[in-house]
Structure 1
Amino acid sequence: MATRKMILDLDTGIDDAMAIAYAVAAPDVDLIGIVSSYGNVLTPLSAQNSLKILELLGQQDVPVFLGESHSSTTTQFEVMPISAQIHGKNGIGEVSLPTAKRQPETKSGVDFLIESAHTYGKDLIVVPTGPLTNLAKALKQAPEIQNEIGNVTLMGGALTVPGNVSPVAEANINQDPTAADQVFESNLNITMVGLDVTLRTLLTKNETAQWRKLNTVAGEKFADIVDYYIDVYKITSPHLHGCALHDPLAVGVALDPSLVSTLDINMFVDTTKEMRGRTIGDPARLTDQHPNVSVALTVNQDTYLKRFMTYLSELFSQN
């Protein structure tokens, strides 16, 4: 049993699936649960995808919880066409996996976040790779957890590069900028792993071919899922020559912050119509001597990719 405990808060699409695999395979943390969110797919499908991926990886003991089904300022959510294109309508590259033998827990994802903060305190790492709706709601219900949780390492935002759904906004933050702003302006210890670094951390079919050579079900299925992702990137971002490891990079940085260089700065999220979802320094707190956000600016992609492939290949070889 590792001292550090991790909760993933996922809208389980393809890179989220790789984030699950990384968290499961990492030897220095226990994945204690997954909270489902909306974004790449609807929340119920996100939960089912997480359960299927866990089962594929032989991890039937990791509980999955249902989080919020829409943003804090809307009453329903519809998947964006670009998300369905990138991840497939089923969220996992149109690859068929067996129906999971388990169902999501009856406890809500928000309650699970709060209870885990009380139980594990500074040993708890929360990694949201979708909208920040669940975490913002947990903060509203139990403000004390902002001083209990050890670290929140989120995949979202963009500081030094353009957004991917607008000139200023990254998709996860854009789904619920109000919730994101509440999280950024809390006392949480936050690391932002945004497009600044995730677009530099790429996977190609050279790597997925290595998974196929393992001749295991997990290796074959993950190769199928990620090859779909890579093929879509050839259409949407041909200049990258691979697919970005958005969500699994956040897991990697949560466990080893030395993978990235960072800027410590107080942040806020713009919620105005013109700049919706922009993650930027907070002018009202620029002179604060103890900023709560570390923004990743550069990444040692070679070290990370080697570790990523080692972890996942060893895991897939067993399943």
Structure 2
Amino acid sequence: MSQTMTAIEIEGGKGPAEALRAVEVQRPEPGPGQALIKVAAAGVNRPDLLQRLGFYPPPPGAPTTLGLEVAGEVVALGEGGGRWRVGDKVCALLGGGGYAEYAVVDARHALPIPGALDLVHAAALPETVFTVFANVFEHGALKAGETLVVHGGTSGIGTTAIAMAKAAGAKVIATGRGPDKKAKALALGADIAIDAKAEDFAEVVKAAGGADVVLDMVGASYFDQNLDALKTGGRIVYIASLGGATLEVPVMKIMQKRAVITGSTLRPRSADEKARLAAEVERVVWPWIAAGKVRPLIDATFPLVDAAKAHAHLEAGEHVGKVVLVA
């Protein structure tokens, strides 16, 4: 292996073309408990956009470069590299550093490639699947027979949430902005889809029996309608706040509905907590993927050196599924 590699350097606070550029840097070495992955593909996620803009700094000890998920081949191991051997194909959740030809990962945060997926599709799994599993199935406690409302149903998170909820035996209502996204959400398996630009989603959800769990990346601007659509004992789970970050909470209505409002982030969790989550994802979700019930949807791929174009594509908001960089 070369001692150097191509990676995407970031100069934050700017648009993609100004902020991101390919540079030659020192290749990382795996430390104790770590694996070095030769990256074949890396997922592009909205937190990457936020970090580029200066709003989502990496946690202490994480690489300052972008990239929260990769797939590729294990090429070196630190002492105590766990279950992996050189030559193993894996996908992995990272704290950062995925926009590069090589990436170091805590060996516990890597998982085998499920089913017969290629490395491009596998790279689209970790950040999205871990996020959906933690928020919908752990914090939201979604069960078979319940109803999940997914806002942004054609996003990377949304498409994955639809598939995972259906695999678990839940009913899914998805929202999107515009008739095209409504149609695509139905094609992806949603039982009901709503054009949030033209329809009152709360009224549609209530007419369908109400929501047990709402997965929300919009935030404050949808809160009143989310609460209105919620069944007694329902749960609203926040994973982003694109439409406002401050809620005005009607306490009496929360009490009357026995509603739970929760949410989480993934990146700042401890290494041990991510390892626990990885084990649960492998136990619960990997069999769904192997059985063909869940498959990541790839909207577009870009060469690693064109990371700026990938960011611009994601920011445009017309994608359906995941955007992936190919090394």
TM-score normalised over the length of structure 2: 0.31
Q: Which has the greater radius of gyration?
A: 2
TM-score normalised over the length of structure 1: 0.32
More strand by share: 2
More helix by share: 1
